[in-house]
Amino acid sequence: MAETRAIGDGTTRREPGQTAAPHIEVRHLTMAYGDFVVMRELNFTVPHGSVFIIMGGSGCGKTTLLRHMVGLREPAAGEVLYDGRSFTRAAPEERDAMLRRFGVLYQGGALWSSMTLAENVGLPLGEFTDLSPAEIREIACLKLALVGLKGFEDFYPNEISGGMHKRAGLARAIALDPEIVFFDEPSAGLDPISSSLLDDLILELRDSLGATIVVVSHELPSIFRIGSDSVLLDAESRSIIARGDPRELLAHSQDPRVIRFLTRRGSAAKPEGEHG
């Protein structure tokens, strides 16, 4: 990958002159649909190079939070900052430039159905680089090979399985070698083996690309396997009720809501699975 700024030892990937500001900061964020407040006064930071999990029960606002972070929804109050610069208040051109720095894998993959997998991955390359069509095809095929879809470049989305959709969506999300990759419920609809393979890919992204990963999930096996930091959202209090490494939360938290979520049994039994 000629254009990848790979640092194989998994250290954080920062440009010279980049400040020590957190990679992502959510400041006093309030999210609402009309008069209905989903979450209020959210404050947290995402460190460079972490695998950050946004977790919580169904319907608590995890995906809504992700949509606010990537600019698909405007907050009712507060802002989102990247490397200390406000994304929420940025001018359109500056916002577009910031968008290039991250990739998003949507829950259903969100592949463009009128294009082949190679065309899906190649579109951002064609839009934002000066590569020739042949070079674009080469990079697109490389990205698809990285996610285990070698040979499927000319297939259309309706010709592949759900798990392959996700992997193709991931190939597209990393087409421009983003610094941050967002995953919206990556394990949804996947069998345990495919889910585990996707977890492997996520860790590989962090280690080889040095990317910061943000994952919206409520799948405990994945959370404990890959997460290095997290926030737990609570629908009833409409706020964050826990913050930190998921395994440390499980071991040390005294909040029954946190324990109930992380064990699904109400007791502090430790799960199996290694931490990335």
Provide the residue count of the chain: 276
Least separation, in Å, of the C-beta of 21 and another protein? 22
Q: Which of residues 80-99 bind another protein (CB under 8 A)?
A: 96, 99
Q: Which of residues 221-260 bind another protein (CB under 8 A)?
A: 235
Burial environment of residue 156 by CB neighbours within 10 A (0 to 12, 13 to 18, 19 or more): middle
Q: Which of residues 146-175 bind another protein (CB under 8 A)?
A: 172
Among 36, 91, 193, 256, binds another protein (CB under 8 A): 36
Least separation, in Å, of the C-beta of 129 and another protein? 13
Least separation, in Å, of the C-beta of 55 and another protein? 19
Least separation, in Å, of the C-beta of 73 and another protein? 10
Least separation, in Å, of the C-beta of 141 and another protein? 19
The smaller minimum CB distance to another protein, of residues 102 and 261, is found at: 102
104: contact with another protein by CB under 8 A: yes
The smaller minimum CB distance to another protein, of residues 34 and 256, is found at: 34
Q: Which of residues 109-138 bind another protein (CB under 8 A)?
A: 110-114, 123-124, 127-128
Q: Are 108 and 136 in contact (CB under 8 A)?
A: no
Among 71, 189, 221, 244, binds another protein (CB under 8 A): 71
Beta strands in 34-174 (DSSP E): 36-46, 51-56, 77-82, 85-86, 102-105
Phi, psi dihedral angles at 33 (to 5 degrees): -110, 100
**H or E, element range at 242:** strand 239-243
Least separation, in Å, of the C-beta of 106 and another protein? 5
The smaller minimum CB distance to another protein, of residues 121 and 141, is found at: 121
188: contact with another protein by CB under 8 A: no
Task: Please give the full DSSP string across 140-190, using - where no structure is assigned.
Answer: HHHHHHHTT-TT-TT--GGGS-HHHHHHHHHHHHTTT--SEEEEESTTTT-
Q: State how far the Cα of 15 lies from the Cα of 37, in Å rounded to an integer.
A: 38
In 3D, which of 143, 149, 104, 168 has the Cα closest to residue 2?
A: 143
Q: Identity (one letter) of the amino acid at 60? A: C
Among 6, 72, 77, 251, binds another protein (CB under 8 A): 72
Least separation, in Å, of the C-beta of 270 and another protein? 29
Window contacting another protein (CB under 8 A); options: 101-109, 130-138, 186-194, 242-250? 101-109
34: contact with another protein by CB under 8 A: yes
Q: In what order do the strands lie in the sheet with 229-234?
A: 102-105, 180-184, 212-217, 51-56, 229-234, 239-243
Q: State how far the Cα of 190 lies from the Cα of 116, in Å rounded to an integer.
A: 22
Q: Give the residues lining the site for another protein (CB under 8 A).
A: 33-36, 67, 70-72, 96, 99-100, 102, 104, 106-108, 110-114, 123-124, 127-128, 172, 235
